[in-house]
């Protein structure tokens, strides 16, 4: 199993390879569950995960309509927008979301992507296409992979 992979439990309908989900944190229904440590404590709130493997094991679950399936998931790469001058393939950057208040812009969700936080260390996995910006900024779409924190 990859060091990035984590075991968790998803609803049977969501437990399929390639399924992406946002983990916002534990919920009250999980307190007292014997599987809570494996299910919830393996994931970091505010991150997007993708299912890489589905196990045969089905477990009782209060939040997934009675049953959940054990899966291996890993933190997903995230599409984001960077200034053109920063978009260098394989570079490791400190992520800073774009300072944009234009929430109706078609690129807004890439300028302020879900799953990344300001100050995250990220590797630029892929440089994609330029993005038109109403503020006339030179932006490009990239695929970012969060990197482990450096030891202090």
Domain count of the chain? 2
pLDDT at 151 over 70: no
d(CA 109, CA 113): 5
Are residues 82 and 35 part of one domain? no
Least confident of 14-23, 37-46, 50-59, 118-127: 37-46
Are residues 122 and 90 part of one domain? yes
pLDDT at 134 over 70: yes
Are residues 15 and 59 part of one domain? yes
Domain around 30:
5-75
Are residues 51 and 25 part of one domain? yes
> Taking residues 101-113, what's their average pLDDT?
92
Q: Check residues 39 and 85 and name the one with the higher pLDDT.
A: 85
3-state SS assignment for residue 151:
coil
Are residues 96 and 55 part of one domain? no
d(CA 140, CA 131): 5
């Amino acid at each position: 199993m990859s060091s990035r992979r984590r075991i968790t439990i998803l609803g049977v309908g969501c437990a399929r390879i390639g399924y992406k989900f946002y983990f916002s944190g534990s919920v009250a229904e999980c307190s007292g569950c014997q599987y809570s440590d494996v299910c919830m404590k393996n994931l970091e709130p505010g991150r997007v995960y993708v299912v890489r493997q589905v196990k045969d094991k089905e477990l009782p679950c209060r939040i997934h309509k009675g049953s959940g399936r054990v899966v291996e998931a890993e933190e997903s790469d995230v599409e984001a927008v960077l200034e053109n001058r920063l978009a260098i393939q394989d570079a490791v950057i400190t992520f800073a979301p774009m300072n944009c208040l234009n929430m109706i812009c078609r690129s807004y969700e890439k300028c302020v992507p879900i799953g990344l936080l300001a100050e995250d260390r990220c590797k630029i996995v892929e440089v994609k296409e330029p993005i038109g910006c109403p503020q006339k900024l030179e932006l490009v779409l990239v695929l970012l992979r969060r990197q482990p924190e450096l030891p202090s």
